[in-house]
Structures are given as C-alpha cells and as structure tokens.
Amino acid sequence: MNIEKLLEKKVDEKKQGQVLQLSGSEKKSRKMYIESYGCQMNFSDSEIVASILANEGFTTTKEIIEADLVFVNTCSIREKAELTVRKRLEFYNSIKRDKNPGMLVGVLGCMAERLKEQFLEEEKLVDIVVGPDSYRDLPNLIAKVENGKKAINVFLSLEETYADISPVRLGGNGVTAFVSITRGCDNMCTFCVVPYTRGRERSRDPKSIIKECQDLFNNGYREVTLLGQNVDSYLWFGGGAKKDFKNASKQEKENSLNFADLLNEVAQINPRLRIRFSTSNPQDMGVEVIDTMSKHTNICDHIHLPVQSGSSRILKLMNRGYDRKKYFELIDEIKRRIPDCAISMDMIIGFCSETEEDHKKTLSLMDYVCYDFGYMYKYSVRPNTPASRMEDNVPQELKQKRLAEIIQHQQSHSLFHMQKKLGKTFEVLIEGDSKKSKKHFYGRTTHNSSVIFEKGNHKLGDYVMVKIEDCTSATLKGKVI
Ligand code: SAH
Ligand code: F3S
C-alpha cells in the first residue's frame, strides 16, 4: 500500500470513529474491548462482532480498564484452550473489582455454545453468553443486561453466514485479511467438538465473498485467507445447509459453485492479490482444486492438510474418512501437479488405544510427506464427543514422550525445507515489522515461510524479491535484490 493510501485510510478510520461516536451520542457512546482465542475463524468472527456493535455506537478500545463492554471469544478445541479462557475471566474479575466496576462481561464463541447456561452459573462475573451463530442478537442481549438481567443466546442456525456484514478489521496490518467462506462442520471426527459448537456446515454467498475480497484489495490489502473448517466442501446452491443440497432444484444444482470455482473467481480479482485458504480436509480435497491452484500464480503454493494420525486403524476410530493409502494418493497428486507445493499438517498424538506401532506409522507417514511445518497436539478428551465414550488410555507421560518425538521429527523436516531455500530468491509480501528488530520487515513467501530482511526503502504491502542467506527451522533471513 502506498503512503497516500495509508494516510487516506487513517483519515477514513478517524472519520469513521467520529461518525460512530456522533451517532452514538444519541445512544451514548460506549467502548468495547474484545479478546480472541483459538482458530482464525474466531478472529474473523470478532471482526463481525465489532461491525455489528459499531452500528450500535460502540468503538473498540485496546484498554480493558476504559471498556464498557468486555468480550472474550472462546475456543473449546482442547481442555487447555478452555483453561486459558477461565484464567482470563479471573483476570477480568480483578479488573472489575479494582479498576472498572461498571464493565459488562460477555463470553462469545465455542465455549459459550458448549456450556450454555452452565457458564452463567459457574462464572458469576459473566453477564452475556452468545454462541457463534447469534451475534446479530448482541444489541438486544446488551440491552437486556443493561436492564439488570443476564442474557444468553446459543441458538445454532442452518443459514447464518453473516454474508452481508463487512467486518471491522481489528488490529490488522492493513495487508492480510481473513475472509470466512463456510461456517460449521458436518464431518463429525470423533475427537472434535466443533460440529457441536459451530453447528451444521453452510456456505456463504459467493457474491458477498468476491465483494469483500475486492473491497479489501481496493483498500490496499494484498492477501486474503479464505476460511472454513473444511473449505474444500464449499458448495453454493442458493443458500441453506450443505446437507440440503440433495433437495435443491435442478436449476440450483446446475448453477451450483464448488470450492475450485470459488477459488477461480477470487483469483481473478487482481493478480496482485494473494490467496490462501484453510483448512483443507483430506477426505474432500480433490484434483480440481489442485489444478486451479496451479493455474493461478496468485494462489499460494501451500496446502494445510491436517492428517491427525499415520495409522489407518486410528484414522478409522477418528472417523476421518480416509486411510493412510488415500492420504498418500492425495499427496502424490499434489506433488505431481505442483511439485514445489508446501504442505503442512495438524497431528493428534496419543488418541484412544494408540500403540507404539500406530505411533511408528505416524513417524513413517511424516517421512513420506516431509511436511514443511505442522501443529502437533496431545489428544484431549472433549465432553460429549463420540471419542469421549472410548477409553482415553494412553498415559499422559507416554503422550508427552510421543509428542516430543513427533515435534523433533517435524523440526528436522522443517529445517530441511528451509535449508533447501538457501541461496534462492523468493517473492515476499511485506506484512509488518520483524518482532525482534524495527530495522527489519517480516513477510512470507508463497510457501508460507516467514522471511526477515532489512527494510531499505520498502513499505508495508509491497512485493519484494528476497535472496535467502540464512535460516532456522522456522524463519528465513535474506536481502532484497
Ligand atoms: N477442520 C480442521 C480442524 C479444526 S480443529 C480439520 O479438518 O482437521 C484444529 C486442530 O485441532 C485439528 O486439526 C486437530 O489436530 C486438533 N484437535 C481437534 N480436536 C482435538 C482434541 N480433542 N484433542 C487434541 N487436538 C484436537
Ligand atoms: Fe473438527 Fe473434523 Fe470438522 S477436526 S472441525 S470435525 S473436519
């Protein structure tokens, strides 16, 4: 983004703030503070919440002690994620007691959906509980609380996609943005709480997706990440939950749009708009998407393809819908069509009944794929999921030992990929300052590798060619040429 654009944007943001406060003067100007945990979708949802409340006269603040309303957008995916939120609530309690007695506290997202009324009983501090499909109801819920009542809405919808709401970009860099394309998940992996907390899968109207991406580009953004629990199963046939597709009319079926079609459309907005997407589920990703990626240079050469285990027996217990062989076939297709494509994964270690032999299969699968990077987790039982009725019988110490082994394995593969890049030159989109030095910029290659380099005369949002001179297993260092 050039400086004029940046300034224009700043002025616009200021104006917007004033407008919000002015129109708020009729309603009383109020400040909202929001913290998000968990997946990218939650961060994206918080921007929708900020937008809904901007219409009610709320501005956002980064200072909790001046907030009228404090929201925490929560994650339930593992027990640890929920414990983090409980700790934050203790912290809010201390702020409310000592510094900001008037503040209202709301819990949003997956934990709100999972615990419902129980939350209000367990955490006396909490005034509002709102599930992921009920954010449009926030103004009513807030009014209810202001009238001295507690408020809750955890209704899950078959249709809600917030398609018409333009998110207020919170604390972003003005260069990269998340754009939701689907909500919910129908896959029912046995370990996973998401189908219960985010409801049935539904796709967002493609027109609203294209418009949001186009607007972002016009405002100086240079990268969008299309988000969904399972992006490859995106299917637009005029609205409704995906499960209703079988009842769609002949014409709706003929006019339907799948993920490859959508990618193709978004890629054509502008060749200088980079496109990423997450998450791909191996059971739904097909060659059509891989071919679409290879056709457009602005679709980044990186696929996040969570595998969860290398053992077909465990994959079956997890209800993942593919086995080791099918996963390898997909990897082979990707490597055949986009030879240099970066591939990353999620892995669950120590799922119910995992043996040493299963664990070895996971290690050997990792050797076959040689992932660029990965996110690795110890299995954590989630209440009321199908796996919660299986025995969580891998002892903690063994889970920890296997996890350490898997992490070490991944680090050596990551380092291998980074070292392969030494001496080569990559196009990098500048996304911000390096965390460690104000003299350096941070950006990413098409393969999603982080690169640090001296700023020179470049600016945020520029594409630069960087020659790689040094690396760790997580970061590349180089010089702009
Ligand atoms: N939709 C994505 C996953 C979303 S959850 C997919 O298709 O895989 C993100 C990751 O959290 C999952 O990939 C999984 O590795 C991890 N995860 C989910 N439930 C978990 C649990 N109960 N214990 C440990 N890790 C879990
Ligand atoms: Fe969870 Fe499986 Fe969906 S991991 S989000 S149920 S694809």
pLDDT (tens digit per residue) in 199-211: 999 999 999 999 9
Residue-level pLDDT at 22: 34
Please determine, for residue 14, whether its predicted confidence score (pLDDT) is greater than 70: no
Distance 202 CA to ligand 2 centre (A): 14
Distance 191 CA to ligand 1 centre (A): 8
Q: Where does CATH 2.40.50.140 sit in the chain?
A: 425-480
- Tell me, using a 6 A CB cutoff, whether residue 432 lines ligand 2: no
- Tell me, using a 6 A CB cutoff, whether residue 185 lines ligand 2: yes
Please determine, for residue 28, whether its predicted confidence score (pLDDT) is greater than 90: no
- Tell me, using a 6 A CB cutoff, whether residue 346 lines ligand 1: yes
Distance 155 CA to ligand 2 centre (A): 20
Distance 379 CA to ligand 1 centre (A): 9
If we measure between CA atoms, which residue out of 227, 329, 233, 348 comes closest to residue 281?
233
Distance 187 CA to ligand 2 centre (A): 6
Q: Which of 39, 230, 308, 380 to mutate to test the pocket of ligand 2 (most atoms within 8 A of CB)?
A: 230
- Over residues 378-395, the mean pLDDT reads 98
Which ligand is closest to the CA of 198, given by its number? 2
Please determine, for residue 23, whether its predicted confidence score (pLDDT) is greater than 60: no
Topology classification of domain 176-420: pyruvate-formate lyase- activating enzyme (3.80.30)
- Tell me, using a 6 A CB cutoff, whether residue 41 lines ligand 1: no
Please determine, for residue 249, whether its predicted confidence score (pLDDT) is greater than 90: no
- Over residues 472-480, the mean pLDDT reads 96
- Of all protein residues, whose CA lies closest to atom 14 belonging to ligand 1? 346
Distance 177 CA to ligand 1 centre (A): 22
Residue-level pLDDT at 8: 39
Provide the mean pLDDT of the chain: 92
Please determine, for residue 308, whether its predicted confidence score (pLDDT) is greater than 50: yes
Q: Where does CATH 3.40.50.12160 sit in the chain?
A: 18-153
Distance 3 CA to ligand 2 centre (A): 42
- Over residues 387-407, the mean pLDDT reads 98
Q: Where does CATH 3.80.30.20 sit in the chain?
A: 176-420
Please determine, for residue 19, whether its predicted confidence score (pLDDT) is greater than 60: no
Q: Which of 189, 234, 278, 319 to mutate to test the pocket of ligand 2 (most atoms within 8 A of CB)?
A: 189
- Of all protein residues, whose CA lies closest to atom 1 belonging to ligand 2? 192
Topology classification of domain 18-153: Rossmann fold (3.40.50)
Residue-level pLDDT at 15: 34
**Sorting pLDDT into bands at 50, 70 and 90, what band is 3?**
very low
pTM over 0.85: yes
- Over residues 62-74, the mean pLDDT reads 96
- Say which residue, 15 or 98, is predicted with more confidence: 98
Please determine, for residue 25, whether its predicted confidence score (pLDDT) is greater than 90: no
**Sorting pLDDT into bands at 50, 70 and 90, what band is 27?**
low
121-172 residue pLDDT tens: 999 999 999 999 999 999 999 999 989 899 999 999 999 999 999 999 987 8
Please determine, for residue 9, whether its predicted confidence score (pLDDT) is greater than 80: no
Atom from ligand 2 closest to the CA of residue 320: 2
- Tell me, using a 6 A CB cutoff, whether residue 379 lines ligand 1: yes
Residue-level pLDDT at 2: 40
Which ligand is closest to the CA of 318, given by its number? 2
Atom from ligand 1 closest to the CA of residue 381: 22
Topology classification of domain 425-480: OB fold (Dihydrolipoamide Acetyltransferase, E2P) (2.40.50)
